[in-house]
Structure 1
Amino acid sequence: MTTSIIAIETPSLGDRTYLAHDGDVAFVVDPQRDIDRVLEAAAAAGVRITHVFETHIHNDYVTGGYALAQETGAAYHVNAADEVSFERTPIRDGDVVEVSPELRVRAMHTPGHTFTHLSYVLEGEEPAVFSGGSLLFGSTGRPDLLGEAHTHDLVRHQYSSARRLAAELSDDTRVMPTHGFGSFCAATSTGGDTTASTIGQERLINPVLSQDEEDFVADTLAGLDAYPAYYVHMGPANAAGPAAADLSEPERADKDQIRRRLEAGEWLVDLRNRTAFAAGHVPGTFNFGLDGQFSTYLGWLIPWGTPVTLLGESREQVAEAQRELTRIGIDRPAAAATGRPEDWTDAPLATLPSATFADLAQVRHHRPVAVLDVRRAGEWRAAHLDGAVHLPIHDIVTRMDEVPEGEVWVHCASGYRASVAASLVAATGRRVVVIDDNFGLSAEAAGLPLVSEAEQVSA
């Protein structure tokens, strides 16, 4: 009987859950909050889930592990050293779990992402390691999520853990990380192919397996950038044993309720893509399109606990957004509305002018405009427009008074974050243009002068 491993993707968070089975029974590693996806995958494969494994107490999402174990009766394996408030099946370094004769799982202590992080080795003829936030494709999990006081210890643990995996596992062992597919839990960009990897491939491409320790530590620490503010809420939620997501339909909001919620300072989030939002939207609403990292950026920017009303083109769009939000602990939208902006307000619709970098180059010849760059610090250091103001998107809400006066042109790397930020700025009454264009391909080509940190230092 062969072993199958099914990866269940969560692209908006850059994470993966795994369902491994032998055709009869299955185990799950690092399930997301919306466990219906895991249950459907198990049902489609015709298998019973008997064991659930957590690699660590997650910082980037609310786990579905506890709820899945409760639903299926599976043993819930969580590190014995983790302080949790629920009953679990404690597991430690070296413990072996016989899920079935074909599914033999060995725990390995691989600290670095957290102090108690475990990886799980599926032994046998086709070995695999579920490496969680330890060894990623071309990278490692970031070591700073437990606070600055622990970062220097954890980055060295991460180095040792990756080296242990490489030393003890065969080159043909498949690497199955939870993070690293756009997740902010990765220490550096994973880059390249993220479909599959092995220990042997990681030996060739992963810096942690080619650099000496001091170089790895220095490069990792230098590459760390900001991570989403909502992360601080995830660990406590996961240690408490969160319930399954409530995906029932939210209350429907009419025009009057939408107006009242806006007046109360609540967040009304337009889920449509940035082109549709730019063409017409309810004044005061914010654009977090479902075509990007919706939950990551909404969770990062919103003052935690602020009621959220979702505005979408269809019930399906609202349901997708609601599912995304439950994964980061925003359990229930305050309300929702569907249709067109004309269905949501009697007031005249607002528009958000959009442009390209070539348009910016032309405009600068005729009148002064402020340019607001909302990319992350690392992107800014690599190259930015001469004269631009840098205000990372995650700071835009708390530092709105630093947005320049007058007409403001907002850009990021490709347009998604620029639209989010521009909608927030526009809601304050400022004149805003969103640059919906690719910075890397178009800014310099348009003749706009660029500056890099290296050039600034040499000057």
Structure 2
Amino acid sequence: MAVEVSVIATSSLGDRSYLASDGRVAIVVDPQRDNDRVLYLAGEKGVRITHVVETHVHNDYVSGGLELARITGARYLVAAADEVGFDRTPVSDGDQVPVSDSLRLRVIATPGHTFHHLSYVLDEATDGGWQPVGVFTGGSLLFGTTGRTDLLGGRHAHELAHDQHASARRLADLLPDGAQVWPTHGFGSFCSASQADASDSTIGREKAKNPVLRLAADQFVTETLAGLDAYPAYYAHMGVANTTGPAPVDLTPVTRADPTELRQRITAGQWVVDLRHRTAYATSHLADTVSLGLDGPMSTWLGWLIDWGTPITLLADTPEQVADAQRELVRIGIDRPAAHATGGVEQWTTEPGQLRELPMADFPALAAAHAGDTPAGLPAPDVVLDVRMTNEWNTGHIEGAVHIPLPDLPARLADVPAGAIWVHCGSGYRATAAASLLANAGRRVVVINDTFDQAESAGVAMADQT
């Protein structure tokens, strides 16, 4: 049987894990912590996992590699240069790892995303000898971009950017144009210097499309560093967890909170997070909760916004939605929510006065309000607040808007000017989260639940970018 490579996508974090097999044995690359998905896939294909490999010590999620290797008895390949608190099979540049009669891995040092980053070439046996099928590139060569180089600290970013350029060139020189490229990052991950421009790729395509293979080193470094934006605060905890050795996950249901306990947790300053869609939250929600719907990257924004270690309670329509949120949260090291409640907003309080609405509008409504024709039932906008990231703001923004990126908002609530606030982002997801924080602080707020690319055509005046 020819080699088969299956993708296990974690879209909420913008990452991919891989299972590569010859029909009998399998390699798993960069597994997420909820590795039941990998085990199910291996069982479905009837293959035995013999090798689990890490391209690098991850900074954006807690790895499932150590636990997966323990469960399966697989060899656990980790860079020899990384000092870790657990037993593993140390590998270095140039090592060849036999997997079966038909598969082997070749280890290639590709520093840049981290100092000790490795890529793994997957070779398949043919009548003419070993032939490369593709390369697992982790956070090195991505689709149309590369992994960012500042996650180990800004002081290393310039050096690592040069390393990243050299590493990508090395892969391009070593491998044929038809070799597949299988990155871990780049599908919405903040580990990527920019976002992926394709769903699959080859070395040949990257030679034609990827700036790292088209620009001279100095120009690549300059452009890469200039394009980097902020990354989630919880990343500071991921590398530590992965170096120490993550504990097994516990996805069993957490305790149920009644209305009294919910109010006590809110009063104590804990985070009570409403997982429903933002339109449901706007219609009716429990006062002093935060909107982070499961339809968006809930765990990324929650992990970025909270003080690490703050107890979290989850609100949802169904237990299945709570379970989905638990799965998302363990991936970033939030192992056990404090409590949960389900069944609908009316069941979360015994006091009707604790239920709130959150007004919503769109960009045509904002344009009308700016023209003096504010839609009925809405306050006229004294402040237009843009909570997108800095790179988004720099690309284009509304004339007169105030810019505070969502991750900065909890610490900068006092910086929002007085008056009624109309808040927007790129789609409405982050704006609703921001509006819930503002409303909890006693501000009058309207969510612009609309896509930003509709603002100018709706008649909203944009700032001059010249």
TM-score scaled to structure 2, two decimals? 0.96
Partner residue in 2 for 1:407? 420
Partner residue in 2 for 1:439? 452
Letter in 1 for 2:135: V
Distance in 2 separating the partners of 1:302 and 1:173: 42
**Contact 2:233/2:303, CA 8 A, preserved across alignment:** yes
Distance in 1 separating the partners of 2:403 and 2:14: 26
Report the alpha carbon displacement of residue 181 of structure 1 after superposing the two structures with TM. Answer: 0.4
Distance 1:253 1:158, change over 3 A: same
Distance in 1 separating the partners of 2:43 and 2:260: 44
Partner residue in 2 for 1:449? 461
- Does 1:387 find its partner at 2:400? yes
Counterpart secondary structure, 2:52: strand
1:327-386, Cα deviation, whole Å (9 max, x unpaired): 000000000111111010123310110000110111123345210000010111111111
1:22-41, Cα deviation, whole Å (9 max, x unpaired): 11111100000001111111
**Contact 1:111/1:117, CA 8 A, preserved across alignment:** yes
**Contact 1:299/1:328, CA 8 A, preserved across alignment:** yes
Report the alpha carbon displacement of residue 324 of structure 1 after superposing the two structures with TM. Answer: 0.2
**Contact 1:55/1:132, CA 8 A, preserved across alignment:** yes
Partner residue in 2 for 1:357? 363
Out of 157, 169, 175, the position equivalent to 1:169 is 175
Counterpart secondary structure, 2:49: strand
Distance in 1 separating the partners of 2:118 and 2:384: 46
**Contact 1:35/1:244, CA 8 A, preserved across alignment:** no
Report the alpha carbon displacement of residue 189 of structure 1 after superposing the two structures with TM. Answer: 2.3
- Does 1:140 find its partner at 2:153? no
Distance in 2 separating the partners of 1:425 and 1:444: 26
Partner residue in 2 for 1:426? 439
**Contact 1:15/1:178, CA 8 A, preserved across alignment:** yes
Report the alpha carbon displacement of residue 250 of structure 1 after superposing the two structures with TM. Answer: 0.4
Partner residue in 1 for 2:128? none
Out of 163, 178, 195, the position equivalent to 1:157 is 163
**Contact 2:313/2:337, CA 8 A, preserved across alignment:** yes
Out of 193, 197, 214, the position equivalent to 2:218 is 214
Distance in 1 separating the partners of 2:381 and 2:261: 40
**Contact 1:34/1:244, CA 8 A, preserved across alignment:** no
- Does 1:252 find its partner at 2:256? yes
Partner residue in 2 for 1:198? 202
Distance in 2 separating the partners of 1:423 and 1:431: 10
Counterpart secondary structure, 1:154: helix
Report the alpha carbon displacement of residue 398 of structure 1 after superposing the two structures with TM. Answer: 1.1
Gap regions ≥5 residues in structure 1: none
Q: How does 1:282-321 map to 2 (within 5 A)?
A: 282-321=286-325
Letter in 2 for 1:443: A
Out of 383, 391, 395, the position equivalent to 1:370 is 383
Distance in 2 separating the partners of 1:382 and 1:126: 41
Partner residue in 2 for 1:104? 104
Distance in 2 separating the partners of 1:346 and 1:206: 57
Partner residue in 1 for 2:127? none
Q: How does 1:15-30 map to 2 (within 5 A)?
A: 15-30=15-30
**Contact 2:121/2:132, CA 8 A, preserved across alignment:** no
Distance in 2 separating the partners of 1:101 and 1:403: 64
Letter in 2 for 1:451: A
Distance in 1 separating the partners of 2:256 and 2:65: 31
**Contact 2:146/2:192, CA 8 A, preserved across alignment:** yes
Report the alpha carbon displacement of residue 244 of structure 1 after superposing the two structures with TM. Answer: 2.2
**Contact 1:371/1:409, CA 8 A, preserved across alignment:** yes
1:236-286, Cα deviation, whole Å (9 max, x unpaired): 000011022110100011111101101100000000010100000000000
Counterpart secondary structure, 1:187: coil
Report the alpha carbon displacement of residue 128 of structure 1 after superposing the two structures with TM. Answer: 1.0
**Contact 1:314/1:338, CA 8 A, preserved across alignment:** yes
Partner residue in 2 for 1:185? 191
**Contact 1:352/1:434, CA 8 A, preserved across alignment:** yes
- Select between 366-375 and 241-250 the one with higher mean Cα deviation: 366-375
Counterpart secondary structure, 1:190: coil
The Cα RMSD (Å) is 0.9
Report the alpha carbon displacement of residue 420 of structure 1 after superposing the two structures with TM. Answer: 1.0
1:176-232, Cα deviation, whole Å (9 max, x unpaired): 0000000000012223x22x1100111111011111112111110110000000000
Counterpart secondary structure, 2:215: coil
**Contact 2:316/2:342, CA 8 A, preserved across alignment:** yes
**Contact 1:169/1:199, CA 8 A, preserved across alignment:** yes
Report the alpha carbon displacement of residue 44 of structure 1 after superposing the two structures with TM. Answer: 0.5
Distance in 1 separating the partners of 2:122 and 2:196: 24
Partner residue in 2 for 1:78? 78
**Contact 2:420/2:444, CA 8 A, preserved across alignment:** yes
Distance in 1 separating the partners of 2:253 and 2:414: 37
Distance in 2 separating the partners of 1:398 and 1:329: 23
- Select between 412-421 and 223-232 the one with higher mean Cα deviation: 412-421
Counterpart secondary structure, 1:258: helix
Partner residue in 2 for 1:113? 113
Distance in 2 separating the partners of 1:4 and 1:278: 46
Letter in 2 for 1:422: A
Distance in 1 separating the partners of 2:239 and 2:412: 27
TM-score scaled to structure 1, two decimals? 0.97
Letter in 2 for 1:255: P
Report the alpha carbon displacement of residue 126 of structure 1 after superposing the two structures with TM. Answer: 5.8
Partner residue in 1 for 2:227? 223
- Does 1:268 find its partner at 2:272? yes
Gap regions ≥5 residues in structure 2: 125-130, 373-379
**Contact 1:113/1:154, CA 8 A, preserved across alignment:** yes
Distance in 2 separating the partners of 1:368 and 1:416: 20
